[in-house]
A and B are shown apart, each in its own frame.
Chain A
Amino acid sequence: MNGMKHTKGFWLSIVLAVVIGIVIQFLINGEILDSFYTNTLYLIGINIILAVSLHLIIGITGQFSIGHAGFLAVGAYTSAIITMKLGMPFPVAIIVAGIVAAIAGLIIGIPTLRLRGDYLAIATLGFGEIMRIIFLNMNYVGGASGMSVTHMVTWPWVISCVIITIVVITNFTNSRHGRACIAIRENEIAADAMGINTTFYKVVAFVIGAFFAGVAGALYAHNFYIIQPTNFGFLKSFDILILVVLGGLGSMSGAVIAAILLTIISTYLSNYPEVRMVIYSLVLIVMMLFRPQGLMGTKEITAFFKVGKTAKGGVQNDKHTVA
């Protein structure tokens, strides 16, 4: 990971993403892409944000959180309240959704991140469920029958949020702060002994992850006409988890690729939801048995472009472990 070279490749891919974003906008304007494709694109964008935000928590910091749908729910409901109940504009809703989800992440993260491994997983799952049950019991947001939301999502919003998410999380990861998080993943006791405030960085990763899950929630709510507590159960959390695991724990490009692939697959299987879930579950099991490091391992896609140049820089095929 040579600092400067890496940065160059990174900005190149951002420029590429912006160009693709603009091209797609033209395709949408020219009605070459019909609403089915447009909607799939929105879903891909939302899932990328979710996958990348969870990747920071699980893949980079090694904190196994399986309650991510809880933050999605907080973002979705917050944004819906802001646009539908308070009549404020959509961009405000996106930002506030992120902030409120981040605050939820802070409140949940400080006590739970003291736990490790299985216990952390189950506690985050519990918190995710509690959030769902809170919305279920709030008459203000419609309780079990949910809340109807106007469709406000357009392609520029989706692609901007995706790019911002990726830029922020990549910049965070490739800094002393990100290295601190990876150190925690690799060996928490050693990280602590090297002067890293492990609790602080775990909470920071959790809060940033929650923020973007909240942003995704705002897009999600304003893309679906209606939001209900049942949309945010732990099955949704597992959906997001699958993206991160399939892509390779520790690889952001892996998470992005997995989000694109699985969204397309599940769109085509949307009429056969049980088949979709059977396939998902088999993918998870087979993946863990035969390729537990996921599609990409901890590598980023940029690594493949420099295979020829650097013989050493992390091209070896390694098994990834999160202890």
Chain B
Amino acid sequence: MTSTPLLKVEKAGIRFGGLKAVSDVNLELNKGELVGLIGPNGAGKTTFFNLLTGVYVPTEGSISLEGEKLNGQAPYKITKKGISRTFQNIRLFGELSVLDNVKVAYHSLSKHSILSSIFRLPSHFSGEREMHEKAIEFLKIFKLETVMNEKAKNLPYGQQRRLEIARALAAGPKLLLLDEPAAGMNPQETAELMELIALIRERFQLTILLIEHDMSLVMGICERIYVLDHGQLIAEGTPEEIRNNPKVIEAYLGEEVS
């Protein structure tokens, strides 16, 4: 489990014009870990996810997955290499059914060609059938199979959040990035979500990096936590260490005061 880390981020950062949004971030994730990334609003957490997934290209440093450099690769290629994500501001395919949302994510694991689909060759049918079965499997895990024919945009908020995770999972990641998965959920939904995250981690042997505002969720399930403030890492450690770290307390207090 030790040796090479799954994800290695070295001195990564990005500047927009003169503004350093994220800088000098060093982070390592070992296979199977569940790690939290916290920080006050505007600390650069989502920007950091965007760096990992290729939405932004880092202007400094390097990011590598299982020793392979990811800098500058297109987002869809990074997804294929094994990093997938959810979005803080839900980005489902609203007009597609719940089932099709998951199928889209399973797309890159499927092989049948455009021509086989146009001419309805056997490989099309077997490929589509496999996608269908896989997608339903994912939906069942997230208890969404009863609404699989609904349009995604018609789902209630909590189910949309779950579908975001189901979809990210269907892309077959080694590393799953969850961007505030519990945002807007009530305590009971949050508790269920925590269980679900633990379950999929076990079942798919995932490594998970989680951005969260809800401290109870982060402290409850994460083994390690990184703290980001003003685009820089200010602390790293177990939940217990983070709770007592004066820098972290200051960063969060500072937010509340201002």
Contact = CB atoms under 8 A, between A and B. Distances in A.
In-complex A–B contact (CB below 8 Å): yes
A194 B149 contact: no
A195 B79 contact: yes
Contacts, number: 125
A2 B128 CA distance: 12
Given A180-B107, A193-B53, A175 B117 contact: yes
Interface stretch (B85-93, B204-212, B233-241, B248-256): B85-93
A89 interface: no
A191 B79 CA distance: 10
B75 A312 contact: no
Contacts of B105: 194-195
Contacts of B72: none
B95 interface: yes
A175 B75 contact: no
A168 B84 contact: no
Interface stretch (B10-18, B60-68, B108-116, B181-189): B108-116
A198 B118 CA distance: 19
A187 B93 CA distance: 6
A3 B132 contact: yes
A154 interface: no
Interface in A133-150: none
Interface stretch (A30-38, A63-71, A77-85, A314-322): A314-322
Contact of B118 (A3, A172, A179, A314): A172
Given A1-B97, A171-B120, A192-B74, A314 B151 contact: yes
Contact of A195 (B91, B96, B151, B171): B171
B99 to A, nearest CB: 9
Contacts of A313: 97, 149
Interface string A10-24: 000000000000000
Most A C-beta atoms less than 10 A away, residue of B74, B87, B118: B118
Interface size class of B (residues with CB under 8 A): 35 or more
A236 interface: no
A60 to B, nearest CB: 11
Most B C-beta atoms less than 10 A away, residue of A186, A187, A312, A321: A186
B154 interface: yes
Interface size class of A (residues with CB under 8 A): 35 or more
A190 interface: yes
Interface string A284-318: 00000000000000100000000000101110101
A312 B107 contact: no
Interface string B122-156: 00100110011000000000000001011101100
Given A1-B97, A193-B53, A310 B91 contact: no
Contacts of B131: 176
Contact of B114 (A172, A316, A321): A172
A130 B219 CA distance: 61
B97 A192 contact: no
A183 B76 contact: no
A190 B127 contact: no
Given A197-B76, A312-B150, A176 B110 contact: yes
A186 B119 contact: no
A195 B107 contact: yes
Contacts of B153: 318
B196 interface: no
Contacts of B174: none
Contacts of B221: none
Contact of A318 (B103, B124, B151): B151
Given A176-B110, A192-B74, A186 B94 contact: yes
Nearest to A197: B76
B95 A191 contact: no
B100 interface: yes
A187 B119 contact: no
A186 B96 CA distance: 8
A171 B95 contact: no
Interface of B: 53, 55, 74-76, 79-80, 84-85, 87, 91-97, 100, 103-105, 107-108, 110, 112, 114, 117-120, 124, 127-128, 131-132, 147, 149-151, 153-154, 167-168, 171
16 contacts: A3-B128, A171-B119, A176-B107, A176-B128, A176-B131, A179-B103, A186-B95, A189-B55, A191-B93, A193-B79, A194-B84, A194-B168, A195-B79, A195-B108, A204-B114, A318-B151
Given A177-B114, A182-B96, 16 more contacts: A172-B114, A176-B107, A180-B107, A185-B95, A186-B96, A187-B92, A187-B93, A190-B93, A191-B93, A194-B167, A195-B79, A197-B76, A298-B95, A314-B149, A318-B154, A321-B94
